[in-house]
Amino acid sequence: MVVKDLHATLIVTLIRHFSFGYAVLTFGVGDCPVAVLTPNASEVHMMNWLDVGEYGGGTRFITMPEIFQDTRKFASRLSFRLLPDFQYIMLMTDGIYDPKFVVEANLEKIENWHEFLNDLAGRNEEGITVSLEPGNTDVANQLSAWMDFWSPGNHDDRTLAIIY
């Protein structure tokens, strides 16, 4: 095995609840967005910039030496926010955001997140619903079924984590 066999993107989110709200710390390498949707999904805050590289298919990976050697850029991979509350924190790979948001700029538009939430709620071609209700013991199976959607030209890995 060689290092390039281990090429991977990475997103990490740490959340701590305090009496005044939540502390959210994120770290990311690659093209994996982390978004915070405020209560009632009234606003979206992107917690990281997408590290897509200089050309299509030029995603940065954690195995690239410059990721950890360039200390100026390394700090930009970290993000911290104090939130009084949130509705969702969503972490996803490009296999989700490419077909669902099409371009990076759409990740910053709350109306696109409303469409995404509607898609999760069953307004999709397959009619698959993901119930993001506390106590839903089948949410993992629902998410797995929902992520099996067909999208021409989008064959990247699909990972989606939702904290609610």
- Please write down the HEC assignment for all residues of 76-143: HCEEEEEECCCCEEEEECHHHHHHHHCCHHHHHCHHHHHHHHHHHCCCCCCCCCCCCCCCCCCHHHHH
What is the distance between the alpha carbons of residues 58 and 55, in angstroms, rounded to a whole number? 5
Q: Which residue has the higher pLDDT, 79 or 57?
A: 79
Mean pLDDT of all residues belonging to the chain: 88
Q: Can you state the angle between helices 110-120 and 94-101, rounded to 10 degrees?
A: 110
Asked if 37 contacts 113 with a C-beta cutoff of 8 angstroms, the reply is yes
**pLDDT of 18-71, one tens digit each?**
999 999 999 988 888 999 999 999 999 999 877 765 555 566 676 676 766 766
**pLDDT of 116-163, one tens digit each?**
999 999 999 999 999 999 999 999 999 999 999 988 777 678 999 999
- Per the DSSP assignment, residues forming a β-bridge with 4 are none
pLDDT above 80: residue 15: yes
**What are the strands of the beta sheet with 88-92, ordered from one edge?**
44-46, 34-37, 88-92, 160-163
Backbone torsion region of residue 71, taken as left when φ is above 0, otherwise alpha when ψ lies between -120 and 50, otherwise beta: alpha
pLDDT score at 99: 94
Lowest mean pLDDT among 8-17, 26-35, 71-80: 71-80
- Per the DSSP assignment, residues forming a β-bridge with 17 are 22
Asked if 143 contacts 81 with a C-beta cutoff of 8 angstroms, the reply is no
- Per the DSSP assignment, residues forming a β-bridge with 28 are 11
Asked if 23 contacts 82 with a C-beta cutoff of 8 angstroms, the reply is yes
Q: Which residue has the higher pLDDT, 59 or 84?
A: 84
